[in-house]
Amino acid sequence: MDFRDKQAIYLQIADYVSEQILLSRWPVGEKIPSVRELAAELEVNPNTVMRTYEFLSQQGIITSKRGMGYFSSEDATDKILTFRREQFLQNDLPLFFKNLTLLGIDLREIETRYEEYINTTTNV
């Protein structure tokens, strides 16, 4: 995993875990990798993964079952989508609009390119 400088590593790992759940690689309600397993896989300190799991637990995305490990919660998908949408709308969209304005890009061009993107990704 390549980490970015602008976001804390534990939050980047939280994004990774969330993606695995959204992509059904780690199915809802199923056990997810242990702290040590994920730390070894991502080559990070187990304390960092522990911080990630605590964060995701607070969000209600994963749950801990004593003696059994961590599991994705039954409503993890909905919680991830709600959290990510809110982050996108608060953080990314204003920057996106600023860049559109600075670069003089018309919304019709964005719409055309978005439609092209949708057509190429759904036909794969």
The CA distance from 1 to 14, in Å, is 12
Rounded Cα gap, residues 13 and 9, in angstroms: 6
83: how many CB neighbours lie within 10 A of its CB?
A: 16
**pTM exceeds 0.85 for this model:** no
DSSP secondary-structure letter at 7? S
**What are 75-103's pLDDT values in tens digits?**
999 999 999 999 999 999 999 999 999 99
Q: Tens digit of pLDDT for each residue in 36-61?
A: 999 999 999 999 999 999 999 999 99
Q: Which of the four pLDDT bands, split at 50, 70 and 90, describes residue 7? A: confident
